[in-house]
Amino acid sequence: MNDNNENNEITYELYEPYDQYDQYEAYKKHYNSSILTNRIVFFALGLFVGAMLTLTITIASTQIRNYLVWGSSLPPENKILEIYNVLDTHSIVPVDRNVLLTNMYRGLLEGVDDPYSYYFNSESLSVFMERTDGSYVGVGMAVILDTEINRVVITTVFTGAPAETAGLLPGDIIIAVDDTDTTTYSTDEVASLVRGVPDTDVTLRILRGDTILTFTITRRQVHIPTVSHRIIDDNIGYLRIESFDGVTVAQFSDAFDDLRSQNIAGLIIDVRNNPGGLLDTVISIGDILLPIGSIMYSEDSQGERTAYLSETDNILDIPLVMLVNGGSASASEVLTGAVRDHGVGVVVGEQTFGKGVVQRLFPLSDGSAIRATVARFYTPNGTSIHEDGITPDFIVEVDRETAMAAARLTLEEDIQLQKALQVVQGNISTFSIGG
């Protein structure tokens, strides 16, 4: 009995610790499991709170950004979608999304209230780049926006081009291209409509005086003759620049060298009705005519200045007259202002247009682009041309029709050219370099 009791006690003593150990292990597992569960819950809760906080911050920052940019916490794309959904659902007039978007982008640039800021879709951008390259498919004419009447007007009809053959004239107002009314269009918009595929027809509706005329013209490849030259009155060189395009520097250089080889005693550079063009082009031409020094400088929105310099010490040893009118703009005014400020020549004609700002082309990711005004430019002496233009040293005024026809007037008909000739001849005997 005693032995058995002892054994039982031993058994009890032996097994009791193991039973407590198992309970402890079970409790520990349960405790650890609870901790793990709580941690998972708290972790998930943390993730949720963090995500909500991030979302709240994102929404708030977006609203703040929208407010800072647009003056409203609601982004404009929401309103655009609302408008489109209304039109798409209710309009009985067919809605072309591409046309809507193109006009919307153009409208955004029009909101800048700057006639020189403009949106180009990929097609109009291609047309614009063709023009500055000096060759394109079209009818062969140059146009300008006449701000007095707010219409696109033909300034030059290129010799031998389809436009000349058809009978278009400088001064003609373009009021429609094919079936598109262009009375509110910019020069770039009109140009993009006129240009197209070779051997296709384009119909122009023209206002000439009080008469509306219609011309159907076949497009073909046109090489822009931006420079022409000749000798007048035996020994005076006459050099006309139609525009400052990519091909103009070479054409100007060839014409200038040809005139100088004929021992001219004076030079007239005619930039009447020249609307401007590429900044690099006018700087290169200035480099041919001017001594070392400033051609112009620009100042951007931050007040930072960029100088454009003549780097070759060319001393023009003959009298020079710049011939200008109200259609002489931008690059034409840059060259005219630099010539006068350097004392290289004098100015004859009428007050120039007054476009003293610089545009830059910004390509966009989809192949389109915008052109924005990024700086004002100043003549070497610090004169701002913008909205004021250049006042000639010798003013010779003509009526609008005569001004528009400047490129095709004979010497006998052109009183401004006559005055320029008189001035340059009068300066031959008294001419001194730099004065």
Residue 312: what pLDDT?
85
Element (H, E) at 119: strand 118-120
The amino acid sitting at 76 is P
| Antiparallel, parallel or unpaired: β 369-378 and 357-363 | antiparallel
Supply the pTM of this predicted model.
0.75
Residue 51: what pLDDT?
66
pLDDT by position in tens, the chain (length 435): 444 444 444 333 333 444 554 555 555 555 556 665 666 666 666 666 666 666 666 655 555 555 555 566 567 888 888 998 999 999 999 989 888 998 899 899 989 989 889 899 888 888 778 766 777 899 999 888 887 788 899 988 888 899 999 999 988 999 999 999 998 888 888 988 999 889 999 999 999 999 999 999 999 998 878 999 999 999 999 999 999 998 999 999 999 999 999 999 999 999 999 989 999 999 999 999 999 999 999 999 999 999 999 998 888 999 999 999 999 999 999 999 999 999 999 999 999 999 999 999 999 999 999 999 999 999 999 999 999 999 999 999 999 889 988 988 999 999 999 999 999 999 987 765 554
Active site residue 79: no
The structural domains of the chain, with segments of one domain joined by +, span 136-223, 225-428
341-345: list long-range contacts, CB under 8 Å, 24+ apart. 341/379, 341/380, 341/381, 341/383, 342/290, 342/291, 342/293, 342/380, 342/434, 343/434, 343/435, 344/289, 344/290, 344/291, 344/316, 344/320, 344/434, 345/269, 345/316, 345/319, 345/320, 345/321
Residue 396: what pLDDT?
98
CATH number of 225-428: 3.90.226.10
Contact of 107 with 113, CB cutoff 8 Å: no
Out of 294, 332, 355, 419, which one is annotated catalytic?
A: 355
Q: How far apart are the C-alpha atoms of 244 and 282, rounded to whole Å? A: 6
Nearest by Cα to 281 from 108, 81, 433, 131: 131
Residue 429: what pLDDT?
75
| Class (C level, CATH) for 136-223 | mainly beta
Phi/psi at 100 (5° precision): -60, -45
Question: Which class for 210: exposed (0-12), middle (13-18), buried (19 or more C-beta within 10 A)?
Answer: exposed
Active site residue 355: yes
Q: What is the CA radius of gyration of the chain?
A: 37
Q: Who contacts 401 (Cβ-Cβ below 8 Å, separation ≥6)?
A: 171
| Antiparallel, parallel or unpaired: β 346-349 and 394-395 | parallel
Residue 282: what pLDDT?
97
Residue 116: what pLDDT?
87
Out of 310, 330, 332, 419, which one is annotated catalytic?
A: 330
